[in-house]
Structure 1
Amino acid sequence: MQRTRQEAVEGLLPEQREQFILERLRTNGRVLAATLATELQTSEHTIRRHLRDLADQGHCKRVYGGALLLSPAGKPAAVRMGEAVDRKARLAAAAVSIVRPKQIILLDAGSTNVAIAEALPDNAGLTVVTNSPEACLRLLNRPGFDVILVGGRIASGAAGSLGATALLQIQQIRADLCFLGACAFDPDEGVAAFEAEDAELKRAMVKASGQIAIALTSEKLMTAAPFSVAPANAVDHLFVEADVPAERLTTLEAVCDNVMVARP
């Protein structure tokens, strides 16, 4: 006789409950302890213990009322540069549509922002300030660019300069537009980064810029990272991929004024 869904859920072992929660995290990005407790026919205390264990294993970050999937963006820069190249190029093509001639653009480090550097239009009289050596290389010897490379310490595995020198230089800039790198983005938790120094520099970029734009691959959406950068509503332009579900897109549009979907 086939068991009902409730009977199957009630019979789950602890490790099976954790796997159920992890799959739900991977599907939705966020889980609520109260909802899981009802669904799994167990106590919120038990669910919180499972979430704590999953967080200890590096799968999620505990937030008020539940947990968020941990962003997969904590890989070394060299690895990220070789991933999803075509997808990042499509995001970049959408992102540069908001660039106007003669602007001062602050370009954060990151593999998607390197793609944005490649997509920026020639002969537009742009000044590009960046802490990314890779982005700088994509702009050198191209017509119509004044390129300023921010100095500082480049940490092992990082994509750009960090530390006191970089922070001081960013604080002296007044940019029209910033393409901010984001390790993770969630409508409630905002923009986040994996390193404290990186988050500090990103916060300085936000303060130094008139408008903030972020281009995100789908796996970073509805995810978390340890260090907060800015609330979601601080982002003026959000560029996402075409595979973002309609319901999730509606959630993003509720917190960001301009959400643009890149062409597939």
Structure 2
Amino acid sequence: MQRTREEALNGLLPEQREQVILERLRTHGRVLAAALAAELQTSEHTVRRHLRDLAEQGHCKRVYGGALLISPADKPAAVRMSEAVDRKARLASAAASIVRPKQIILLDAGSTNVAIAAALPDNADLTVVTNSPEACSRLLTRPGFDVILVGGRMTRGAAGALGATALLQIQQVRADLCFLGACALDPDEGVAAFDAEDAELKRAMVKASGQIAIALTSEKLMTAAPFSVAPAAAIDYLFVEADVPPARLTSLEAVCDNVMVARS
């Protein structure tokens, strides 16, 4: 006789339960210990132990009541620049639509923000302040841009300048709009980064800007990274891809002022 799904889950070995939990994390991003315990017909204590083990293996971050999948964005800049180019271009086109002439734009480093630099229209009459050499190179030869490149320490694999010099320069800026780079975003946990100095610089960018915009590929949503940058409520414009599930979109709309879907 074929076993029911409930019987199959009830008979799982510990390593099999852990694999099921990891699959749920990869599918949903956030998991709750109570819900997993009910589904796997085991105790919350057992589920929490599995989540602790998965966190120690680098798969997730423990949060209140459960866990979040670790963002896949912890890769060298050169790798990220070559990934999902068409998807980032669609996000960039949508993000560029909110820019207005004569604004001071603070453009954070990151592959999607490099795409935003390329998507900004010629003769836009903008001042763009950026810590990204790649973004700077996309703008320098085009009409209508006054470009200020923030200096500082460039680490191996980094997409932009970091450190005390960059932080001091950002603190002297008063921008109308910031396109903030984000390694991870969750409605409850907010925006996060993988590097402590990067997170500190991003927090300074948030403080220096009148409005905050983030364009984010889907795999970074409902994920975590070690260093907190800002709450999700600090985001004035969030640009996401068309494949974001409706329930996930609703949870983002509950905390972000304007969630805009980039369509082809």
1:24 aligns with 2:24: yes
CA distance in 1: counterparts of 2:126 and 2:35, whole angstroms: 50
Counterpart in the other structure of 1:79? 79
| C-alpha distance in structure 1 between counterparts of 2:145 and 2:7, whole Å | 65
Distance 1:14 1:231 in 2: 35
- Tell me how far 1:234 sits from its aligned partner: 0.1
**Structure 1 segments unaligned to the other structure (5+ residues):** none
Distance 1:4 1:87 in 2: 40
Provide, for residues 211-248 of structure 1, a one-character-per-residue CA deviation record: whole Å limited to 9, x for no partner.
00000000000000000000000000000001111111
CA shift for structure 1 position 56: 1.2
CA distance in 1, matches of 2:105, 2:165: 19
TM-score w.r.t. length of structure 2: 0.99
Residue 60 of structure 1 and its aligned partner are, at CA, apart by 0.7
Displacement of 1:4 in angstroms is 1.5
Deviates more, 1:51-60 or 1:226-235: 51-60
Share of identical aligned residues, percent? Answer: 88
SS of the aligned residue for 1:19 comes to helix
2: distance between equivalents of 1:47 and 1:135? 44
CA distance in 2, matches of 1:141, 1:103: 19
Q: Secondary structure at the match of 1:141?
A: coil
Q: TM-score, normalised by structure 1?
A: 0.99
- Residue 15 of structure 1 corresponds to which residue in structure 2? 15
Give 1:7 shift. Answer: 1.1
2:114 corresponds in structure 1 to 114
Amino acid corresponding to residue 247 of structure 1 in structure 2: A
Correspondence for 1:233: 233
| In structure 2, C-alpha distance between the alignment counterparts of 1:65 and 1:57, rounded to whole Å | 19
Once residues 31 and 164 of structure 1 are traced to their aligned partners in structure 2, the CA distance between those partners, rounded to angstroms, is: 37
> What is the correspondence of 1:60-75 to structure 2 with a 5 Å cutoff?
60-75=60-75
Q: Partner residue of 1:253?
A: 253
Q: Which residue of 2 aligns with 1:175?
A: 175
Query: By how many angstroms is 1:102 displaced?
Result: 0.4
1:165 alignment partner in structure 2? 165
Aligned length: 264
Q: Partner letter of residue 85 of structure 1?
A: V
Structure 2 letter corresponding to 1:115: A
Please give the residue correspondences for 1:131-170 in structure 2 after superposition, counting only pairs within 5 Å: 131-170=131-170
Question: Which position in structure 1 is the counterpart of 2:184?
Answer: 184
Deviation of 1:39 (Å): 1.1
Task: Give the distance between the partners of 1:30 and 1:5, measured in 2 at CA.
Answer: 22
Residue 98 of structure 1 aligns to a residue whose secondary structure is coil
Secondary structure class of the residue paired with 1:259: strand
2:43 maps to what in 1? 43
| Equivalent-residue separation in structure 2 for 1:141 and 1:109 (angstroms) | 19
Separation in 2, partners of 1:10, 1:93: 48
Which letter maps to 1:197?
E
In 1, Cα distance between equivalents of 2:155 and 2:55: 25
CA distance in 2, matches of 1:263, 1:2: 44
Using the TM superposition, give the Cα deviation of residue 203 of structure 1 relative to its aligned residue in structure 2, in angstroms.
0.2
Cα deviations by residue, 1:39-79 (Å, 9 ceiling, x for unpaired): 11111111111111111111111101100010000001000
Partner of 2:93: 93
Helix, strand or coil at the partner of 2:97: helix
Runs of 4 or more above 4 Å deviation: none
Shift of 1:106: 0.1
SS in 1 for 2:31: strand
Q: In the aligned structure 1, how far is the partner of 2:174 from the partner of 2:104? A: 8
Could you list the runs of 5+ residues in structure 2 that have no partner in the other structure? none
Give the residue type in structure 1 aligned to 2:253: E
Cα deviations by residue, 1:16-43 (Å, 9 ceiling, x for unpaired): 1011001101111100011111111111
Instruction: After superposition, give the CA deviation of every residue in 1:147-189 in whole Å (9 maximum; x if it has no partner).
Output: 0000000111110000000000000000000000000000000
